Structure 1
Amino acid sequence: MKITVCKDYAHLSKVMAQKVAELIRQKPNLVFCLPAGNSPIGMFKELVKMYEEGKVDFSRLRTFDMDEYVGCGPEDPHSFVYFFHHHFFDHVNINMDNVRYPDALADDLDAMCEKYAQDIVDAGGLDIAITGIGDDGHIAFNEPGEYLLPRTHVVKMDEMTRKQNASAFEDRKEGVPRYAITTGMEEHMKAKHYFVVCSGAHKAPLLKRLFESEKLDPQFPVSWLRMHPNVEFVIDEEAAKEIPKDVLAYFSK
């Protein structure tokens, strides 16, 4: 485990983009599990800039979306597929034949999830996965509960998560979907390089809880990443404020 503290969100975004670009240079056809949401927008902006400057080539990159809202197809502006096109795909030289995402409109969602999980296995597993932390400690849409599932599955979204995401669905009559598709904890734990991105003072209590306790708690899914063999927390100074200083010093080495 490693903690990298950046000055602010802009600095964090540049650092994260540089880490991703370097791994792509080392393995041009690596498998990237793409994160959506506010946290990675700055990183995608930096990656697009690096592409425009000729510093990184995405032509052989393979991607899997980390999660998706059930009922939101690729053309729906609320979908994560749409998000990735807007912030990343449409601005770089990615081969769309190498892009995979859950079919959130499938008639048999369980069968679709099973195939999606197998596609990840057949691709050799995830080389990079990046996530933020939800306000209830979820990663992707692995919500707090009595247990955590290993592979891609359908999940009923926690009401806290739906409330957290409500502002993005103000123009949608049905509001925030009640169900989502998410990659599972086994897929996350097997990712060769795992990054957690956190910015802002509102994330500080979550990081404090994570680093003050060594307990693996399914009610706090991000805690499972303490067992990940190669996880790095890339956070800004505001998010790092409540992490115990001795812990911060130890994992920043």
Structure 2
Amino acid sequence: MELIIQPGAPESARIVADSIVALLQRKPDAVLGLATGSSPLAVYDELVRRHEAGDVSFAQARAFLLDEYVGLPADHPQRYRNVIETELVGRVDFAEGAVQGPDGLAADIPAACAAYEQAIVDAGGVDLQILGIGTDGHIAFNEPGSSLASRTRIKTLTRQTRIDNARFFDDDVEKVPTHTLTQGLATIRAARHLVLVSTGRHKAEAIHQMVEGPVSAMWPASVLQHHPHVSVLVDPAAAARLQLADYYRETYETKPAWQGL
């Protein structure tokens, strides 16, 4: 796991965008994994800027979303398929139907989850997965206590996650759905490159536990320690609890340029 401390979100976004642009240049039909929430927004803005400058095309690429609320109407602005359309997909040149998400309105939830898993496999797997992290260490909606071998399934959100997400629902926690469909921890770990972005002091404990703590279902993101290619980009506030922060800074500063992200 590579830990990169940057001054702020714009600097991290440029590094992540560099990696995605390089991937699409060598593999135009790459499969991306897209996250919603606040953490990836600067990355998406940077990718849009580069697309508008003619530096990158998504025309042959495909993408899969990490998760989706259960029961939100198809036209609800906080339905993740609509959110990612606003934040990225509608601003670049993905082909029609190239971006898929779990079906939170499915009549048969288990069948929809199995079909989503199969769709990722049929696409050849995810080449680069963008991630955020919750204050309690969840990734996607794999809450504390989630199986480290889990696959796409329905999950009940913790009260803390619903409080954290209430800002997207007029600060009313009761408007936040109680259930989601989410890629499992094993599903996420099947991606070839995981890129997690996080900012803010409120994420510091989660980042510390993920990077330096034991692998535990109590901190689901800690399972990423078992993945061979993980890049974690944080600002100084999110890095505040890291015991080896100075070492992470030194290793990045002396990293061979040819390695990339």
Q: TM-score range by the shorter chain?
A: over 0.9
Please give the residue correspondences for 1:162-177 in structure 2 after superposition, counting only pairs within 5 Å: 162-170=162-170, 175-177=175-177
Deviations 1:185-229, CA, capped at 9 Å, x for gaps: 11111111101111122222222223332x210111010000111
- Does structure 1 residue 6 correspond to structure 2 residue 33? no
TM-superposed deviation, 1:17: 1.6
Residue equivalent to 1:75: 75
Count of aligned pairs: 252
RMSD: 1.8
- What is the alpha-carbon distance in structure 2 between the residues aligned to residue 148 and residue 195 of structure 1? 18
Residue equivalent to 2:259: none
TM-superposed deviation, 1:48: 0.6
TM-superposed deviation, 1:240: 1.7
- What is the alpha-carbon distance in structure 2 between the residues aligned to residue 173 and residue 8 of structure 1? 29
Q: Please state whether the residue corresponding to 1:45 is helix, strand or coil.
A: helix
**1:203/1:171 Cα in 2 relative to 1: closer, same or farther (>3 Å)?**
closer
Please give the residue correspondences for 1:138-149 in structure 2 after superposition, counting only pairs within 5 Å: 138-145=138-145, 147-149=147-149
Residue equivalent to 2:226: 227
- Deviates further, 82-91 or 243-252: 243-252
- What is the alpha-carbon distance in structure 1 between the residues aligned to residue 12 and residue 96 of structure 2? 28
Please give the residue correspondences for 1:23-62 in structure 2 after superposition, counting only pairs within 5 Å: 23-62=23-62
Any conservation in 1 of the 2:140–2:182 contact (CA below 8 Å)?
A: yes
Residue equivalent to 1:212: 212
Residue equivalent to 2:84: 84
- What is the alpha-carbon distance in structure 2 between the residues aligned to residue 241 and residue 164 of structure 1? 20
Q: Which amino acid aligns with 1:128?
A: L
Q: Please state whether the residue corresponding to 1:32 is helix, strand or coil.
A: strand
Q: Please state whether the residue corresponding to 1:239 is helix, strand or coil.
A: coil
- Deviates further, 58-67 or 8-17: 8-17
Deviations 1:146-175, CA, capped at 9 Å, x for gaps: 634521111111111011111211287951
TM-score (norm 1): 0.93
Deviations 1:106-153, CA, capped at 9 Å, x for gaps: 111111000000111111111111111101100000111163452111
Residue equivalent to 1:134: 134
- What is the alpha-carbon distance in structure 2 between the residues aligned to residue 28 and residue 175 of structure 1? 40
Q: Percent identity?
A: 36
TM-score (norm 2): 0.91
TM-superposed deviation, 1:247: 5.1
- What is the alpha-carbon distance in structure 1 between the residues aligned to residue 173 and residue 203 of structure 2? 30
Q: Which amino acid aligns with 2:221?
A: V
Q: Structure 1 regions of 5+ residues with no counterpart?
A: none
